[in-house]
Amino acid sequence: MIDLNEFFGMKGKVALVTGSASGIGLGISRFFANTGVSVAMFDINGDAGPARSAEIEGDSEFFLCDVTDSGSCSCCIDAALERFGRIDVLVNCAGVARRNDVVGLSESDWDLALGVTLKSVFLMSKFVVPHMRRQGRGRIVNIGSGWSFKGGPKAVSYCAAKGGVWNMTRAMAIDLGPDNINVNCVCPGDIDTPMLKSECEQLGGVYDENYREECSKRPIKRLGTPEDVAKCVFFLASDMSPWVTGSSLVVDGGGIA
């Protein structure tokens, strides 16, 4: 008989999750902690972050981190290593959506979207990978989007950032494979989160049942949940995917099928 707990090999591991104070990042943190993984929760939201960490069943700690700032990333990673002793999994989930076209988008919103969504993957990986190399193994899961592969209306900065995340994943997989570090990308569709609500309101809509129903027009007729994404991230972080690297896993109910 197969022991799935042994196959997944995640109990006692340590995961670092960015953007973990809400939305998908929070869902990933909750799911991981509930399976026996210790979770370092990184986010710039110092109000919500500690409260969300306290609510999680399992071993977690919140670290106030600006993922666009090199010094903040380095210091927080050092603090997480002091607290947990190791980092086995890095989940780069932090992201910002500023909905506009190339003419209407401000330079500051472009910088914000690319900084939080794309630069953060570079900075967090830069400081975590040396520790994974010393351990002799590691898993990095970057959160992309369906818009990593195709364009979308009034989403020029988001599409640019998420497209970059996907291609960066492939480049990192090539560089880090010899170090036994797997790098993959999970690409969600519309997920029922505060970010989706914010995007709706930026475009002048109302985040109501009609809007959510419109977003549910896909083969599996519902919005996604953070747990839908978390389960896929968990698979790629686990020992169940030892020969998977440089790959993308689209989690969108068939939206771009």
**CA atoms in the 13 A half-sphere facing the CB of 147:** 16
Q: Is 202 within the bounds of a domain?
A: no
Q: Is 77 within the bounds of a domain?
A: yes
Q: Is 205 within the bounds of a domain?
A: no
Mean pLDDT for the stretch of residues 13-41: 97
Read off the tokens for 218. Answer: 């896909």
Mean pLDDT for the stretch of residues 216-222: 96
Residue 108 has pLDDT above 60, yes or no: yes
| Residue positions annotated with a catalytic role | 158
Q: Is 234 within the bounds of a domain?
A: yes
Where would I find the H helices in 85-155?
A: 107-114, 120-135
Rg (CA), the chain: 17
CA distance readout (Å), 246 to 86, 181, 241: 23, 11, 12
pLDDT of residue 58: 94
Read off the tokens for 168. Answer: 């960066």
Residue 214: which region, alpha, beta or left (left: phi > 0; alpha: psi -120 to 50)? alpha
Mean pLDDT for the stretch of residues 224-231: 98
Q: Is 92 within the bounds of a domain?
A: yes
d(CA 236, CA 141): 7
| Domain span at 173 | 4-189+226-251
Read off the tokens for 5. Answer: 């707990």
Mean pLDDT for the stretch of residues 118-132: 98
pTM above threshold 0.85? yes
pLDDT of residue 7: 81
Q: Is 203 within the bounds of a domain?
A: no
Question: How many residues does this entry show for the chain?
Answer: 257
Contact indicator for 224, 253 with CB cutoff of 8 Å: yes
What is the band of 5 on the pLDDT scale with cuts at 50, 70, 90? low
Question: Mean pLDDT across the chain, nearest whole number?
Answer: 96
d(CA 183, CA 54): 29
Q: Strand 138-143 relative to strand 89-92: parallel, antiparallel, unpaired?
A: parallel
Q: Give the domain CATH number at 73.
A: 3.40.50.720
Give how many domains the chain has, as a whole number: 1
Q: Is 219 within the bounds of a domain?
A: no
pLDDT of residue 69: 98
Q: Is 103 within the bounds of a domain?
A: yes
What is the band of 2 on the pLDDT scale with cuts at 50, 70, 90? low
Q: Strand 14-18 relative to strand 60-64: parallel, antiparallel, unpaired?
A: unpaired
Per residue in 127-171, pLDDT (tens digit) is: 999 999 999 999 999 999 999 999 999 999 999 999 999 999 999
Read off the tokens for 202. Answer: 């930026």
Per residue in 43-55, pLDDT (tens digit) is: 999 999 999 999 9
